[in-house]
């Protein structure tokens, strides 16, 4: 199959995937755009593992998630640390884009250790700085807890 045939087939498949899965990245939920958010086709079962290129085995995902997933199965990627961090990043970007400020609890470093001369390290999330105040650095542990609470609340209200 040549490049022209692949483009034509892709042009037919994308509307079907948008109809089935929606117009956001299947994995991280970002709105499609350019560069790392450009829409790409991903195989649930990778072609390297015998996956076919039919609509049932395809997902419409952003470029970044497709690169992060690589040749992992969908189940492996859904439980990966890389996807969790990507979803947290998208949640933060959407919060800021909506004109909202991140919740104050995101900036609370419960495991803070002061090292002297303004240097600090958070034992919980691993953040550290010699120049930035901890009140201006988001604690990854707090953000993850907030994200879990938001997703749990959405799942309960959707059902």
Q: Supply 154's token pair.
A: 């959405």
Residue 60 has pLDDT above 90, yes or no: yes
**pLDDT tens digits along 61-118:** 999 999 999 999 999 999 998 998 888 888 878 887 888 877 777 788 888 899 988 8
Domains of the chain as residue ranges with CATH: 3-81 (1.10.30.50), 102-158 (no CATH)
Residue 128: the pLDDT is: 87
Band of residue 26 on the pLDDT scale cut at 50, 70, 90:
very high
Greater model confidence, 19 or 108: 19
Asked if residue 157 has pLDDT above 60, the reply is no
Query: How sure is the predictor about 144, in pLDDT bands with cuts at 50, 70 and 90?
Result: confident
**Cα–Cα distance, 152 to 59 (Å, whole number):** 24
Phi, psi angle pair for 86, to nearest 5°: -65, -45
pLDDT higher at 65 or 152: 65
pLDDT given at position 59: 93
Distance in angstroms (rounded) separating the CA atoms of residues 144 and 35:
26
- Fill in the DSSP letter of residue 31: B
pLDDT at 44: 92
The residues with which 4 forms a beta bridge, in sequence order, are none
Is 33 a residue whose pLDDT tops 60? yes
pLDDT for residue 149 is more than 80: no
CA 121 – CA 105 distance, rounded (Å)? 17
């Amino acid at each position: 199959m040549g490049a022209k045939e692949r483009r034509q087939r892709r042009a037919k498949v994308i509307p079907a995937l948008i109809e089935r899965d929606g117009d956001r990245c299947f994995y991280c939920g970002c709105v499609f755009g350019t560069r790392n958010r450009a829409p790409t086709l991903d195989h649930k079962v990778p072609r390297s593992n015998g996956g076919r290129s039919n609509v049932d085995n395809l997902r419409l995902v952003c470029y970044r998630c497709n690169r992060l997933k690589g040749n992992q199965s969908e189940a492996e990627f859904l439980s990966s640390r890389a996807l969790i961090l990507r979803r947290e990043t998208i949640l933060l970007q959407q919060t800021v884009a909506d004109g909202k400020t991140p919740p104050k609890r995101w900036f609370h470093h419960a495991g803070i250790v002061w090292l002297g001369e303004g240097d600090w390290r958070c034992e919980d999330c691993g953040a550290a700085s010699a120049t930035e105040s901890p009140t201006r650095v988001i604690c990854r542990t707090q953000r993850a807890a907030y994200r879990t609470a938001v997703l749990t609340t959405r799942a309960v209200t959707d059902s």
